[in-house]
């Protein structure tokens, strides 16, 4: 699953159209859009550090992402260099202006974007302010910090399109729309690669270490009838996982609950017998 | 941008994070960077800002490992851990000049020890030598320098083993062990072998290499490198570690030892060691999470002593069998067994 994050609705519009995303009306506090197979979602986080962090946190507590899912923050930003305007940048480091702390998204995936560092401010940045990085915005560091609670640094990507030379008041909605629209082909080509990779890796590495309902039932039956301790339950779970890895399932495991009282000594013997059966 | 999903990952070391303080060690830093002329350099304040980030997924990072150049400002020399073989040496220490290894072995404890799959190289190796100078004034030192990495595999980039060879030559009270699975002996073959440096090759049967070791030279390549080192006068140790239990382990290990000692004369080696799989319980929890489909990690090990290893019966079966097999080729006073109490049989 790929989740596109934009601060503003009009930054989102070109991607909503491109991927034919539909509004999820059950998601109330922010605008959330999704495509038919749920491989691409788009969340409008609102602008600013706190609102965007809150929106992302709410989303990530609602949707449990896997290690093969990705967040992509796409949006306009300011720049200190004229020739940056209109290009798409993948940010390789993020400076939080208020705390002077740097954050580093993992740069694992190939791309055709330019790269730069970005500095996140709590207020709109104008020419009178000093910046340390060539790009500036109002969300990146907050999204990275909020996302890091739930996700790995390889799952968060920051694509920024400079719209102004630290003169945010001079940028119109139309300017933004044009810049984003121009970036859609290159951005969506990259997103499509990430979708393919995410799907391939989920099926290749997503071995379920949790138990299916019938396996859970067997686990509970064994645990209760043998009155297993917490440690023994952990050992039993590991036996389940190992046996499933070797044989694919647990269909050959034969367990008959013992009749009568299970003494500690008997429990130990029965558990060892069971262990040997799982290791076959 | 590549179009094939399998190649969507960046090549290794396309990004190099360089600590600001590396500027004070320009010669080593520039030497390392010269091997990666196309890399994107990202300045960082402290290596932990990248290496110790929260929630890193080392399994995914191994698809595109990056390099971090740093200055070690903390301890260089650590006392040897109980899970490591001391070969009967007093004053057993190890040093970390690099963190993480370019190879990718499923059973490797580094996955549980480090929060990241990326590699750190400390550029101030001279400070390590200075620490060691102080320690050597107190007593002789037995030092393993390639536990938390594989220095030989990275020798073309760092040249660190070459520096250790030079240091060993002028410090006879020091004995250094360089543990490796690399076939890269050629990187140091031009250097004269000091008597107090041991090159220790970890050898594993093809079954283990094929199933659990990724991007690692095969057995033949490692044997060839070890033979070449012997020819060049180096002291060579063979480490059969970890010994793993799997179906037909007896015939696999029996054939393996025969093959190894058919190619490497037992008389030409310093000694051998072996030890069953063992990893601290804290580490194996992390390792299992990172590799949910790994047979070697998901095996239900005995964890009652705080170390995940085979249960006592299986451990004895494995140890006795491996010892018996190695004894067919190597005299018993040259065989070291890791038993948890570091005894030599």
pLDDT in tens, B200-219: 999 999 999 999 999 999 99
**Beta partners for B93?**
B79, B143
Q: Write out the E strands in chain B.
A: 15-19, 40-44, 67-70, 77-79, 92-95, 98-99, 104-105, 119-122, 141-144, 174-180, 197-202, 213-214, 235-243, 271-276, 278-280, 307-309, 335-338
Helix (H, G, I), strand (E, B) or coil at B34: coil
State whether A109 and B9 contact (CB < 8 Å). yes
Annotate A216-232 with b (16+ C-beta within 10 A) or e (fewer): eebbeebbebbebeeeb
Overall average pLDDT of the B292-315 stretch: 93
B72-94+125-338 carries CATH number 1.10.260.40: no
Using a CB–CB cut-off of 8 Å, the residues of B that contact A are 1-3, 5, 7-10, 14-15, 17, 40, 42, 44-45, 49-50, 53-57, 59-61, 63-64, 66, 288, 292-293, 295, 298-300
| A280 pLDDT above the threshold of 90 | no
Instruction: Mark yes or no for CB contact B292/A209 under 8 Å.
Output: yes
With CA atoms as reference, report the closest residue to A3 among A28, A32, A24, A23: A32
Collapsed DSSP state (helix, strand, coil) of residue A49: helix
Q: Is it the case that residue B49 has pLDDT exceeding 80? A: yes
d(CA B38, CA A188): 26
Rounded to the nearest angstrom, the minimum Cα separation between A169 and chain B is 32
- Residue % of chain A over a pLDDT of 90: 70
Buried b or exposed e, range B25-54, using 16+ CB within 10 angstroms: beebbeebbeebeebeebebeebebbbebe
Q: For residue A269, is it left (φ>0), alpha (ψ between -120 and 50) or beta?
A: alpha
Residue B4 pLDDT > 60: no
* Residues in A 200-239 with any Cβ partner in B closer than 8 A: 200-201, 205, 207-209, 235, 238-239
Please tell me the distance in Å from A102's CA to the nearest CA on chain B.
Answer: 8
Pick A24 or B79 by higher pLDDT.
A24
Average pLDDT over residues A228-236: 92
| pLDDT for A176 | 85
Task: Say if residue B332's pLDDT is above 80.
Answer: yes
Nearest CB among A67, A193, A242 relative to B300 is that of A242
Nearest to A9 by CA among A23, A26, A27, A28: A23
CATH 3.40.50.1580 occupies which residues in chain A?
A: 2-205
User: Best mutation site among A66, A67, A69, A106 for testing chain B: the one with the most B CBs within 10 Å?
Assistant: A106
Strands B98-99 and B119-122: antiparallel
Shortest alpha-carbon distance between residue A34 and chain B (Å): 23
Contacts of A192 in chain B (CB under 8 A): none
CA distance A137 to chain B (A): 20
**In this predicted structure, what is the pLDDT of residue A201?**
81
- Tokens at residue B84, please? 């490591």
Sequence-distant contacts of A28-32: CB under 8 A, at least 24 apart = A29/A55, A29/A58, A30/A55, A30/A58, A30/A59, A32/A59
B79, pLDDT greater than 90: no
| Confidence (pLDDT) at B5 | 44
Res. B263: pLDDT tops 60: yes
Residue A193 with chain B: CB contacts under 8 Å: 1, 3, 5, 8
According to CATH, the topology of domain A2-205 is Rossmann fold (3.40.50)
- Which of B1, B17, B288 is opposite residue A193, by nearest beta carbon? B1
> A136 and A119 in contact (C-beta within 8 Å)?
yes
């Amino acid at each position: 699953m790929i989740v596109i994050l934009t601060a503003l609705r009009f930054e989102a519009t070109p991607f909503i159209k491109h991927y034919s995303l539909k509004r999820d009306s059950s998601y109330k506090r922010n605008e959330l859009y999704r495509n038919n197979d749920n491989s691409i979602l788009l969340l409008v986080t609102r602008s600013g550090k706190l609102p965007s962090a809150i929106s992302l946190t709410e989303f990530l507590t609602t949707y449990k992402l896997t290690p093969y899912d990705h967040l992509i923050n796409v949006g306009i930003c300011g720049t200190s260099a004229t020739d940056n305007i209109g290009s798409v940048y993948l940010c390789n480091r993020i400076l939080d202006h208020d705390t002077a702390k740097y954050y580093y998204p993992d740069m694992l995936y190939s791309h055709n974007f330019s790269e730069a560092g970005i500095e996140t401010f709590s207020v709109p940045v104008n020419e009178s302010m000093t910046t340390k990085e060539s790009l500036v915005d109002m969300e990146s560091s907050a999204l990275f910090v909020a996302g890091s609670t739930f996700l790995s640094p390889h799952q968060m990507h920051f694509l920024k399109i400079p719209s102004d030379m630290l003169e945010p008041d001079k940028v119109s909605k139309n300017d933004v729309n044009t810049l984003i629209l121009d970036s859609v082909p290159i951005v969506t080509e990259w997103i499509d690669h990430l979708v393919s990779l995410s799907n391939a890796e989920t099926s290749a590495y997503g071995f379920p270490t949790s138990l299916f309902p019938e396996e859970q039932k067997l686990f509970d039956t064994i645990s209760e009838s043998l009155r297993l301790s917490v440690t023994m339950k952990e050992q039993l779970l590991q036996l389940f996982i190992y046996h499933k890895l070797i044989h694919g399932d647990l269909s050959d495991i034969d367990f008959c609950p013992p009749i009568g009282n299970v003494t500690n000594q008997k429990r130990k013997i029965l558990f060892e017998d069971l262990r040997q059966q799982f290791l076959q | 941008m590549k179009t094939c999903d399998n190649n969507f990952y960046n090549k290794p070391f396309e990004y190099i994070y360089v600590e600001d303080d590396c500027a004070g060690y320009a010669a080593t830093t520039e030497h390392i960077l010269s091997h990666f002329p196309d890399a994107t350099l990202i300045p960082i304040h402290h290596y932990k800002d990248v290496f110790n980030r929260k929630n890193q997924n080392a399994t995914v990072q191994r698809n595109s490992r990056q390099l971090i150049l740093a200055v070690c400002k903390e301890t260089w020399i650590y006392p040897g851990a109980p899970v490591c073989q001391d070969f009967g040496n007093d004053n057993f220490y190890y040093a970390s000049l690099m963190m993480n290894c370019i190879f990718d072995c499923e059973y490797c404890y580094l996955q549980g020890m480090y929060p990241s799959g990326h590699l750190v190289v400390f550029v101030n190796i001279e400070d390590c030598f200075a620490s060691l100078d102080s320690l050597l004034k107190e007593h002789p030192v037995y030092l393993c320098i390639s536990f938390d990495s594989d220095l030989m595999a990275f020798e073309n980039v760092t040249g660190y083993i070459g520096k250790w060879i030079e240091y060993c030559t002028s410090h006879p009270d020091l004995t250094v062990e360089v543990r490796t699975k690399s076939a890269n002996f050629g990187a140091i073959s031009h250097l004269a072998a000091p008597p107090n440096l041991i090159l220790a090759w970890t050898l594993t049967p093809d079954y283990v290499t094929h199933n659990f070791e990724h991007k690692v030279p095969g057995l033949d390549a490692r044997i060839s490198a070890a033979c070449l080192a012997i020819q060049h006068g180096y002291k060579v140790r063979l480490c059969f570690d970890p010994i793993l239990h799997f179906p037909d382990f007896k015939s696999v290990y029996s054939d393996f030892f025969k093959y190894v000692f058919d190619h490497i004369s037992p008389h030409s080696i310093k000694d051998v060691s072996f030890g069953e799989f063992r990893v601290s319980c804290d580490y194996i929890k992390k390792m299992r999470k990172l590799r949910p489909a790994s047979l070697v990690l998901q095996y239900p090990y005995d964890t009652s002593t705080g170390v995940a290893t085979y249960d006592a019966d299986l451990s004895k079966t494995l140890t006795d069998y491996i010892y018996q097999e190695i004894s067919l080729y190597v005299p018993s006073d040259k065989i070291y067994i890791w038993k948890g109490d570091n005894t030599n049989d």
